[in-house]
Structure 1
Amino acid sequence: MPDSMATKMAGSVQVVKDDTVKRTPMARPSIGREGKPIRLLSNHFAVKLNGVDAVFYQYSVSIKSEDDKVVDGKGIGRKVIDKLLQTYSSELDGKDFAYDGEKCLFTVGPLPQNNFEFTVILEETSSRAVGGSPGHGSPSQADKKRVKRSHLAKKFIVAISYAAKIPLKSVALALRGSESEHAQDALRVLDIVLRQQQAKRGCLLVRQSFFSDDSRNLVDLTGGVSGCRGLHSSFRTTIGGLSLNMDVSTTMIVTPGPVIDFLLTNQNVRDIRDIDWPRARKMLKNLRVKAKHNNMEFKIIGLSDQPCSRQTFPMKVRNGSIEVQTMDITVQDYFKSKQVELMMPYLPCLDVGKPKRPNYLPIELCHMVSLQRYTKALSSQQRANLVEKSRQKPQDRMRVVTDAVKSNRYDDDPILSSCGIEIEKHLTRVDGRVLSAPTLVVGNSEDCIPNRGRWNYNNKRLLDPVKIERWAIVNFSARCDMSRISRELINCGRSKGIFIERPHTLVDEDSQSRRCSPVERVERMFEKVKTSLPGPPEFLLCVLPERKNCDIYGPWKKKNLHEMGIVTQCIAPSNKMNDQYFTNVLLKINAKLGGMNSKLALEHRQMIPVVTQIPTLILGMDVSHGSPGRADIPSIAAVVGSRCWPLISRYRASVRTQSPKVEMIDSLFKPLYDGKDDGIMRELLLDFYQTSQQRKPKQIIIFRDGVSESQFSQVLNVELNQIIKAYQSMGQGDLPKFTVIIAQKNHHTKLFQVDSPDNVPPGTVVDSGIVHPRQYDFYMCAQAGPIGTSRPTHYHVLLDEIGFSADNLQKLVLSLSYVYQRSTTAISVVAPICYAHLAAAQVGQFMKFEEFADTSSGSGVNSSSAAAIPELPRLHADVCSSMFFC
């Protein structure tokens, strides 16, 4: 589109908003009134603050060993501080510490002086003990050394120095809605007290969650990985007072048990001789094991090159009474001399030593230590198992968290009690409202009223069905009846109003092509498609070889959407290919090809409050990151924008790469050397103008996913400024009014019905009791929750220049949960955010990121390495404005 059109779109000039003006999240203007009242419970426990005059004193901690090396291991730090407390209690006035396991400790009231230095004597930890394994001297010497060293102790120098004062009164001020400098710090101290209590019980701590070593909490996810169920706890300021938020939490751990069992299940083999040892070496590195012959813990650094029967190490032995000589001995013989007969000497050893000083342990003698986090990406099967096995009915979850608060006996904690903190033992009661579901319009302008968040197309037609004339089916699967698929798709489509001609051709993959790389398989398939069709098809249905996320999916999507400009729908072979299955497939196809399945009745009649009267652009923004532990994979930023105003059901996407693990979107405005803007917003603003009767947006509603409270300021002052600059760069004109809303799913507040064991009904909204004491937020459960416990979405309104009433804003948010074209259910978060997530995931599949590992890993995660970030291939002009992500 020429720049003259862009300039025309912008209109007349207005004073530029100053970048230096810092925006802060707005205060709550009012609460909603509409909807049917409902009595609810929440997993918040009221906290009484009886001692607001208490002051926390923060001290910096430095722990060094005798040789002046800084000690930074969390486990050893806690042991040292516990010992210090026992040894020097009188010097510290008998004060109790809240220690974060690293470099900070806190007391209620001051210590006798600002600076201390203590010497702490701690018995040698077992993992650093010397004897009992090969590589450490002769058997007799090892025995003597072990006996001696068990009585040896290690000396630590602990320096404690005053750092800051944190008054508990700041929490009381925050509860009254005042801006309080130290409120978050004080809450952090209280959270550290809870964490310390769990650490002393031997729990695994993961941020604000803790997990105990109890086999009843484990669920097998296959592959040597278990889901470990624990609890999350955090103090929160709410409009109803201070509360303790307690929830069930799950983390992934390495399944405890014999190392051999772990390797067999991890590699999905039955026989130990089938283990891929290079893969095992990679998987085992840095995991901890316990040796059953001496009950000591070790960290694995690698595997031996030879099996136990041939792997040797030098050992000093006495020849007579004086002469000492060094001889090589095998690991098997060493253990035989210790009366340990190895059953599998043909296996390699675990190396638990140091890089230049190996220490070998036979694998058969080792067990995986429990509560070791598994931080690698889960397979799709493991994720499915985790979801299925982590489900809990609302009543069960209520019982678990209530029992946890009672059994943890928080009131007995000396620090909490010295602050006058008392925690209630029952769930907080909350007033909620249930908003009515919006009426939808389907084919023949027929009204469709959702029931419990659901509707269907039985005996109904789609609102705006497309006609498919030139299309084909390509088949990468050897076990699929394409004729049946074609027939049933056509029949189902016609019953829903989509006229589908017979496919021009059914293209099977050659059997020899199946041995090629995914990219080569796609290229060969396209050659066959070209020779089989007279011209480019409108649409291709692709039958994948197996699961949806197979290797072919990314290259296939890239070929179609980037190079060819063809809309494509992928399906995987399934036993459940019934009418409902094909209906769901057709909902996606119709939306991708420009049709519409349904829309809101108010949208159809152009009666949506605030939005219909004034040109309004709705944005959904999300960033998806690479799997855990992969700092070399670029993050994908996706923004979808509404089009064809006054519709709010049709969107297009713009997607870019950015530095790994960076959450803020840096390409909303992207000026080039020639002064032009190549950013995301320019694309979406021009598209809105083209499809909305040459109207520029006078209102922009931004829904932003995936940011925490600490990043709200960046959304308001960095991302919003980029959007403003992108708008201004397109010409002169008054700036639109903005409403900025954050949607959070990753939180721990749950809602329960007082008088029903079922989940809360769809449309439930809460904007009192457990919400922020000052800021403008609310919880909404738009979806029906037939399984498990529903998680409401937590919406934070950071800015509202448009000036929605609380009721109108909540109804708009609920309505946007009903315009998701892929589904016949209300979804848990507004559709623009779901679309942004889908667009990021799908376009991210275009790239083989492994190719860029060398360029982007080492230099990687900061913005200065932007040059190393590979650019995404842009969408073909024929599909860039489609809902290809649907």
Structure 2
Amino acid sequence: MPPRQPRDQSRSTGGPPQRRVGGPAQPAHRAPLSHITTVGVRRPGYGSSGRQVPINVNFFTVDSIPDGSIYHYDVISAGKNMPIAMNMRIIEALQDHVAPSIFADTRVVFDGRKNLFAPSKLELGGDSREFDVTLSAAPTNPDKPPRIYKVRLAYAAKISTEILHRFIAEQQSQDNAVSTALMALNVVLRMEPSQRFPTKGRSFFTPEGARLIGAGLELRRGYFQSIRPAIGRMLINVDISTGVMYQPGPLIDLCMSFLGITGRNMLRAAIPDRKRLALGRFIAGVRVQTRTAAQVQTGTRGDQGTPRVIRKLSTQGANQLSFVLRGGQTKTVAQYFQETSGRPLQFPGLLCVEVGQGGALIPLELCTVLSGQLVKKEIPDDKKTQLVQFATMRPKERLDSIRKGLQVLAYGQSEYVRKFGLTVDPTLLTTQARVLDAPTLQYGSMGNPRAATVNPRNGSWNMADKRLFRPATIQAWVFIIFESFERFEDQVAQGVARDFVKGIRSTGMTVVDPNPVVRRVNGQGNIPRELQAAGDQCFAEKEVPPTLFVVVLPEGGNDIYIIVKHWGDVTKGVATQCLKAPKCTGANMQFWANVALKVNVKLDGINVITEHGLLSDPQKPTIVMGADVMHPSPGTTGRPSFAAVVSSVDSYAAKYVADQRVQASRQELITDLKEMSVYLLGKYMLYRESIEKVQPSLRAPKRLIFYRDGVSEGQFQQVLDQELPLIKAACEELNINPTITLFVVGKRHHVRLFPMNEKDADPKSGNLPAGTVVDRDIGHPTEFDFFLQSHAGILGTSRPAHYSVLYDENDLTADTIQALSFALCHVYARSTRSVSIPAPVYYADTVCARAKIHFDPSSRQEWSDSGATDVSESLETFKQKYLPPHPKQRLRMYFAVRVF
């Protein structure tokens, strides 16, 4: 495509252009200049394999960024840890009322914390200046003078925008100055919407289409926006986002919704302590406006001063809770409000809340929850489905909403965007993607050698006439039923057992004795003892220990599931397969074949392998590892993080083993990575020598492919400086020297790919097909990254995975790395569909999610209660309580399925 002529400014959004930064279609790759440094690997070139398809991407091109400078100031305030919204109000008052002359010719932008940016230098009379700021709202107490906020602006740096022009032209390394300039432009973009809408990070949320879902929650849609550098241009990423808010309106209604009750008289102090404590944790931190009893009854608006923040919920009702006045007189809260307002409370038996720093006691009925407050705690499990449904949008619907979002963003109408000289092309970005060929998969054959291979189509395949690559054997098995007899009669149980054996055998697995030991167990009893007794009975009757425990759970049997898994994986070292009673009753053979996929790998079998050449090269054996870290839920305190690393042990990177450790809360880098790598590399070499019988000279890996999940771009350098040396130290300790390639694979981004032509879309979902890869136009200016949509989306708009190559001693090409990553998305053991990230990364995430299984269910604290807990045990205590898998399970893929 030839270069475009300068655009008619009436079609652009933003201020007058200073320099165009868009450009023609992606040029041929050229290596960055020799003096350019990168965090990761320099891009070796673009991929070329696969079928080309034109696509839309949810980016808009920044036509121009200003020539000149941006001035950076630090904001120092005496009020520590104030809400961002309050900080924004203070800076707004500073500009409009306190020092308007300083800001007469400019409008600064502020990130709500400490960074302020101006398009021209502020006349502060020096490098810093302190101001006294008073907010214009009326004080809540007329006898008390308004609060004065002391704010000091301190000059920090002058940022030349020339570095951004040079950076996207591959003539500038990414340094702190580039990062600060990008931060400044992002603050410019979100300044206008942050003054009108609730915000979270780079997302803001509008009230249109808000939906109440119960439990005191409201869902809202909004828009995410982020400016980011790309190859030869600057882009704005715009996407649809979803926010969870506290239900606005009367606080009493929010409390009733959270507790699931109707009728305000039910919300009394007599509610169970467990529910009262949960409610108190849920509403702690919520901002409310207060009214008098008279205002509530007459429907008039209350105090419009500074909102008050709820600290905690009382244990008594307003008619029982008393306090001492200044004169020494004791009154109940109900008496006080009746006397001060002239009217009694409508519900004097209801609880109160403590608000503000002074801990004032306010009855629930006098508080109104302000609209647009984001919930920072984990939402209840039973509401997550509604959240997913609300957030799910088909590709065409999402794309239309993104286009409409440009009207809400209104870059051309933003005073801040104009002052900083940004202009934005309102045309959605188009680029060329490629659809990679799916890898050939190999199963075992049912007498026909040709039937052993499968070529997936759009990320899925059928193994109806296939047997598993290496099927396992079940010598004897136990059938445990926790469901009641009325819901799971003996005849039903016999049918389920018969279908289970039939389905297992259909995949090539061997069931020596199809008749299980059947026991009905009371879920309220001693479950471990009952399981042990069933195993003893099996050994007595069959003269062999049970290979597998098949467990039928009732609805809501999550606690039983945890106990069963802990007993099998940690205590006893025996494979367990849990089934939900409603799903397995009358299930078809496809259901049982899927169950067989899980059972086979738990019994040391291998389901399928991929014939990718790099993985199966006998002269350069390759180990593939994946790592992830799981952090406590938002709002949770006193909980550790869990790190997991998995690695392949076989010649085809199809069978994996895992290691997991407890580490400091919210620490992303893996502390014990060296020890974990030593353990896993040792298991690889042991398996190769003892199971695959390779020559001793070939038992050690010659190549090590490491996929790291969950790391943000700002932590890439830390991964290279701290984690990579630990991997190398593990190899050195084992006296091996594989060449290492290290990726970071991420899903926490807002890039979406949309087909331009209907013929390129999946007819059912509207998504692009599995294997769609993009490494042009939207990639990093200098570093080696790409986006790969490796799965066939079923619901909503698929999210591609973002791969960044941080380290590569194997000199892999773009085509090789992309094909390898796509192939590894096809060997996830429990599925006949490709998954969204490579199997080792998926497994590492699963191991992290199963951490709760490793703590004794009989003594463990409740792990989730609206995302909050008061537990503050030490890290060492958690490490001591964490119990590793039983030695018999450590070489099995017991982790192939996530916990409920």
TM-score by length of 2: 0.84
Query: Residues 123 and 154 of structure 1 are in contact (CA less than 8 Å); yes or no, is this contact kept in structure 2?
Result: no
Q: Deviations over 1:492-513 (max 9, x none)?
A: 2233323333243012114xxx
The 1:633–1:690 alpha-carbon spacing in structure 2 relative to 1, beyond 3 Å, is: farther
1:624 aligns with 2:635: no
Query: Residues 32 and 767 of structure 1 are in contact (CA less than 8 Å); yes or no, is this contact kept in structure 2?
Result: yes
Separation in structure 1 between the aligned mates of residue 363 and residue 871 of structure 2, nearest angstrom: 35
1:491 aligns with 2:485: no
Partner of 1:825: 833
Partner of 2:43: 28
1:450 aligns with 2:456: yes
Partner of 1:58: 72
Query: Residues 36 and 435 of structure 1 are in contact (CA less than 8 Å); yes or no, is this contact kept in structure 2?
Result: yes
Q: CA deviation at 1:263?
A: 2.3
- Superposition pairs of residues 551-570 of structure 1, within 5 angstroms: 551-570=559-578
Separation in structure 1 between the aligned mates of residue 128 and residue 189 of structure 2, nearest angstrom: 26
Which of 53, 57, 74 matches 1:42? 57
Query: Residues 490 and 502 of structure 1 are in contact (CA less than 8 Å); yes or no, is this contact kept in structure 2?
Result: yes
Q: Deviations over 1:275-330 (max 9, x none)?
A: 433433333222222335353332222334432334444568xxxxxxx9956365
- Superposition pairs of residues 144-293 of structure 1, within 5 angstroms: 145=142, 153-177=146-170, 178-181=172-175, 182-201=177-196, 203-212=197-206, 214-216=207-209, 218-270=210-262, 272-273=265-266, 275-276=271-272, 277-292=276-291, 293=295
1:766 aligns with 2:774: yes
- AA at the equivalent of 1:490: V
The 1:700–1:335 alpha-carbon spacing in structure 2 relative to 1, beyond 3 Å, is: same
Separation in structure 1 between the aligned mates of residue 829 and residue 353 of structure 2, nearest angstrom: 53
- Superposition pairs of residues 573-592 of structure 1, within 5 angstroms: 573-575=581-583, 577-592=587-602
Comparing 843-852 with 369-378, greater Cα deviation is found at: 843-852
The 1:285–1:643 alpha-carbon spacing in structure 2 relative to 1, beyond 3 Å, is: same
Gaps of 5+ in 1: 1-21, 131-144, 317-323, 672-676
Partner of 2:728: 724
Q: CA deviation at 1:686?
A: 4.5
- Superposition pairs of residues 253-652 of structure 1, within 5 angstroms: 253-270=245-262, 272-273=265-266, 275-276=271-272, 277-292=276-291, 293=295, 294-296=301-303, 297-314=307-324, 326=329, 328=331, 330-331=333-334, 334-335=337-338, 338-354=341-357, 357-444=358-445, 445=449, 446=451, 447-478=453-484, 479-480=487-488, 481-500=492-511, 501-510=513-522, 514-516=523-525, 520-534=526-540, 535-547=544-556, 550-575=558-583, 577-600=587-610, 602=611, 607-608=613-614, 611-645=617-651, 647-652=652-657
- AA at the equivalent of 2:442: V
Q: Secondary structure at the match of 1:845?
A: helix
Query: Residues 662 and 882 of structure 2 are in contact (CA less than 8 Å); yes or no, is this contact kept in structure 1?
Result: yes
Q: Secondary structure at the match of 1:454?
A: coil
- AA at the equivalent of 2:46: I
Q: Secondary structure at the match of 1:43?
A: strand
Query: Residues 615 and 621 of structure 2 are in contact (CA less than 8 Å); yes or no, is this contact kept in structure 1?
Result: no
Separation in structure 1 between the aligned mates of residue 403 and residue 806 of structure 2, nearest angstrom: 33
- AA at the equivalent of 1:29: P
Q: Secondary structure at the match of 1:118?
A: strand
Q: CA deviation at 1:463?
A: 3.2
Query: Residues 658 and 866 of structure 1 are in contact (CA less than 8 Å); yes or no, is this contact kept in structure 2?
Result: no
Partner of 1:884: 894
1:664 aligns with 2:673: no
Query: Residues 610 and 804 of structure 1 are in contact (CA less than 8 Å); yes or no, is this contact kept in structure 2?
Result: no
Q: Secondary structure at the match of 2:720?
A: helix
The 1:438–1:327 alpha-carbon spacing in structure 2 relative to 1, beyond 3 Å, is: closer
Q: Secondary structure at the match of 1:424?
A: strand
Query: Residues 205 and 211 of structure 1 are in contact (CA less than 8 Å); yes or no, is this contact kept in structure 2?
Result: yes
- AA at the equivalent of 2:310: I
- AA at the equivalent of 1:57: Y
1:117 aligns with 2:135: no
The 1:334–1:879 alpha-carbon spacing in structure 2 relative to 1, beyond 3 Å, is: closer
Separation in structure 2 between the aligned mates of residue 284 and residue 678 of structure 1, nearest angstrom: 46
Q: Deviations over 1:370-422 (max 9, x none)?
A: 22222222333222222122101111211222222233221333443344321
Q: CA deviation at 1:459?
A: 4.2
The 1:631–1:315 alpha-carbon spacing in structure 2 relative to 1, beyond 3 Å, is: closer
Separation in structure 2 between the aligned mates of residue 333 and residue 631 of structure 1, nearest angstrom: 36
Separation in structure 2 between the aligned mates of residue 515 and residue 859 of structure 1, nearest angstrom: 28
Query: Residues 478 and 534 of structure 2 are in contact (CA less than 8 Å); yes or no, is this contact kept in structure 1?
Result: no
Partner of 1:696: 700
The 1:125–1:823 alpha-carbon spacing in structure 2 relative to 1, beyond 3 Å, is: farther
Partner of 1:12: none
Q: Secondary structure at the match of 2:529?
A: helix
The 1:555–1:125 alpha-carbon spacing in structure 2 relative to 1, beyond 3 Å, is: farther
Separation in structure 2 between the aligned mates of residue 815 and residue 752 of structure 1, nearest angstrom: 23
Separation in structure 2 between the aligned mates of residue 707 and residue 580 of structure 1, nearest angstrom: 37
Query: Residues 782 and 829 of structure 1 are in contact (CA less than 8 Å); yes or no, is this contact kept in structure 2?
Result: yes
Comparing 656-665 with 866-875, greater Cα deviation is found at: 866-875
Q: Deviations over 1:579-632 (max 9, x none)?
A: 3222211110012212233222x25xxx44784541111111111222222232
Separation in structure 1 between the aligned mates of residue 497 and residue 707 of structure 2, nearest angstrom: 39
Separation in structure 1 between the aligned mates of residue 361 and residue 38 of structure 2, nearest angstrom: 60
Q: Secondary structure at the match of 1:710?
A: helix
Q: Secondary structure at the match of 1:210?
A: strand
Q: Secondary structure at the match of 1:492?
A: helix
Q: Deviations over 1:202-239 (max 9, x none)?
A: x2221111123x151x3444422233222111111011
- AA at the equivalent of 1:835: Y
1:653 aligns with 2:661: no
Q: CA deviation at 1:682?
A: 4.4
Partner of 2:751: 749
Partner of 1:90: 101
Number of residue pairs matched by the alignment: 805
- AA at the equivalent of 2:204: F
Q: Deviations over 1:141-169 (max 9, x none)?
A: xxxx4xx67xx643333322211122212
1:810 aligns with 2:803: no
Separation in structure 1 between the aligned mates of residue 392 and residue 334 of structure 2, nearest angstrom: 47
Q: Deviations over 1:31-70 (max 9, x none)?
A: 1111111000101110022523x21111122234xxxx65
- AA at the equivalent of 1:328: K
The 1:670–1:23 alpha-carbon spacing in structure 2 relative to 1, beyond 3 Å, is: farther
Q: CA deviation at 1:91?
A: 3.4
Q: CA deviation at 1:428?
A: 0.5
Partner of 1:80: 90
- AA at the equivalent of 2:497: S
Separation in structure 2 between the aligned mates of residue 670 and residue 598 of structure 1, nearest angstrom: 30
Percent of counterpart pairs with the same letter? 28
Partner of 1:107: 118
Query: Residues 593 and 882 of structure 1 are in contact (CA less than 8 Å); yes or no, is this contact kept in structure 2?
Result: yes
Report the aligned-residue RMSD.
Answer: 2.9
Which of 736, 739, 753 matches 1:737? 739
The 1:472–1:578 alpha-carbon spacing in structure 2 relative to 1, beyond 3 Å, is: same
Q: Secondary structure at the match of 1:702?
A: strand
The 1:819–1:526 alpha-carbon spacing in structure 2 relative to 1, beyond 3 Å, is: same
Query: Residues 211 and 218 of structure 2 are in contact (CA less than 8 Å); yes or no, is this contact kept in structure 1?
Result: yes
Separation in structure 1 between the aligned mates of residue 714 and residue 405 of structure 2, nearest angstrom: 29
Partner of 2:866: none
- AA at the equivalent of 1:471: W
Query: Residues 108 and 415 of structure 1 are in contact (CA less than 8 Å); yes or no, is this contact kept in structure 2?
Result: no
TM-score by length of 1: 0.85
Query: Residues 353 and 360 of structure 1 are in contact (CA less than 8 Å); yes or no, is this contact kept in structure 2?
Result: no
1:837 aligns with 2:838: no
Q: Secondary structure at the match of 1:367?
A: strand
The 1:806–1:306 alpha-carbon spacing in structure 2 relative to 1, beyond 3 Å, is: closer
Q: Secondary structure at the match of 1:819?
A: coil
- AA at the equivalent of 2:384: R
Comparing 399-408 with 334-343, greater Cα deviation is found at: 334-343
Q: CA deviation at 1:641?
A: 1.1
- AA at the equivalent of 2:738: P
- AA at the equivalent of 2:334: V
Comparing 236-245 with 716-725, greater Cα deviation is found at: 716-725
Separation in structure 1 between the aligned mates of residue 328 and residue 547 of structure 2, nearest angstrom: 82
